[in-house]
Amino acid sequence: MVLQATPALKVTLTTVQRQSLQPYEKLTGRLYPLRSSALHFEVAGRLAGRLVEPGAAVSQGQPLLQLDRSDYADRLKQAQSEFNIEKQGAERDRVLLQLAQANLQLQENKQRRLEQLSSKNMVAKNQLDDAHQQVIALRGEVQKLEFSTMTANSRIAMQQSKLSQAQRNLARTTLRAPFDGYVNEVMLEQGDRVSLNALALTVVDTSAYDLQLQLRGKLLSGLSLAQEVTVDVAGYQYDATVIALQPDPDLDTNTHELRLRLQGEGLRSGMLAAANLPHQRLNQVLTIPSAAVLSLRGESYVFVYNEGLVHRNLVQLGKRVGQQVLVLEGLQAGQAVVARDIVSLRDGQAVVFE
């Protein structure tokens, strides 16, 4: 009986090579709307109109809730009347001042003539005294009118301030949408007594969504503002843009806040999203396929091909990037190694390559 030699095992070879790699890391978080606003009334009153319901699409400036306007409308009328009275009173005082000044001048001239006549004993003393008293009275009237005229602008400004405040308060009886979006929640019913600054409803802008993540420092070098990254949501990929990147870490968590913005059909607030974030690019590093590595008792080995035989070599590896793994020690560029199916190989085994 003649023994036949065991045929050489067929293997697939690959070459140890230097190449540039772009590592990525996935971080997950939840989507939240582009904008969310919790609205409240800045004045108190009774809710007269609930004009929208949750889920309603609204435009910027659209009325959402309405308080009873009666009291605030009356206060506005009162403020407007007081403002008009003050303006008209100021104009009246300016006219009266001109008349009083002219009258004072006439009376002072009359006083001087009586003084000249009195020096010649041509007029009674009581006539001169009456003239003096009239001059003093007119001077007091002129001073009052001058003061009123000088302070008129200040009084008008005070009434203008009250009028403006009354106009603002009347406008505040209507709660309006701060932006285009959707009503998310309404907390008040028609007829409710609304207190100052009580939460009334929330509005969200879902034209885009933000994804907020916390990064370790080593990821910062691969990111920049306005950079495009890929985000996976419910099995679909979306393009996202870096809109905020915190340069200094949070003192408590030692992480950096990253905010991404994305748009697309099918997105909803609260959905789980995974961002594919780039690390710093690795230039011209020594690599082999991860399938070429045999892990044995905590060590890493590869099978190097040389003249029909494979030899098991101990290697030191770095990080894995996709299907490639970095080689730190044990191999050189250009060496041929078995690319896959290495579990059954032995050191020094004869092989043929496909």
Shared domain for 108 and 223, answered yes or no, is no
- Are 200 and 65 contacting, i.e. CB atoms less than 8 angstroms apart? yes
Domain-embedded: residue 316: yes
Shared domain for 91 and 134, answered yes or no, is yes
For 295, counting Cβ atoms within 10 Å of its Cβ (0-12 exposed, 13-18 middle, 19+ buried), the class is: exposed
Domain-embedded: residue 4: no
Structural domains in the chain (count): 4
Of the residues 278, 297, 324, the one at which a domain ends: 278
Domain-embedded: residue 1: no
Per-residue model confidence (pLDDT) at position 108: 85
Domain-embedded: residue 289: yes
105: left (phi over 0), alpha (psi -120 to 50) or beta: alpha
3-state secondary structure of 152: helix
- Are 243 and 261 contacting, i.e. CB atoms less than 8 angstroms apart? yes
Distance of alpha carbon 234 from alpha carbon 268, whole angstroms? 11
What range defines the domain where residue 197 resides?
41-68+172-203
Shared domain for 76 and 160, answered yes or no, is yes
**One pLDDT digit (tens) per residue for the chain, 354 residues:** 444 555 778 888 999 999 998 888 899 999 999 999 999 999 999 999 999 999 999 999 999 999 999 999 999 999 999 999 999 999 999 999 899 899 889 988 888 888 788 777 777 788 878 888 998 998 899 899 888 889 999 999 999 999 999 999 999 999 999 999 999 999 999 999 999 888 999 999 999 999 999 988 878 878 889 999 999 999 999 999 999 999 888 888 888 999 999 998 889 999 999 999 888 888 999 999 999 999 988 899 999 999 889 899 999 998 888 889 999 999 999 999 999 888 888 888 888 887
Shared domain for 264 and 216, answered yes or no, is yes
Domain-embedded: residue 2: no
Q: Is the Cα torsion angle 12, 16, 22, 23 positive or negative in sign?
A: positive
Shared domain for 112 and 133, answered yes or no, is yes
Of the residues 148, 169, 190, the one at which a domain ends: 169
Of the residues 278, 302, 318, the one at which a domain ends: 278
Distance of alpha carbon 21 from alpha carbon 27, whole angstroms? 20
Q: What is the CATH number of the domain that holds 195?
A: 2.40.50.100
3-state secondary structure of 28: strand
- The encoded tokens of residue 99 equal 């008349």
Shared domain for 189 and 49, answered yes or no, is yes
Q: What is the CATH number of the domain that holds 261?
A: 2.40.30.170
- The encoded tokens of residue 119 equal 């020096």
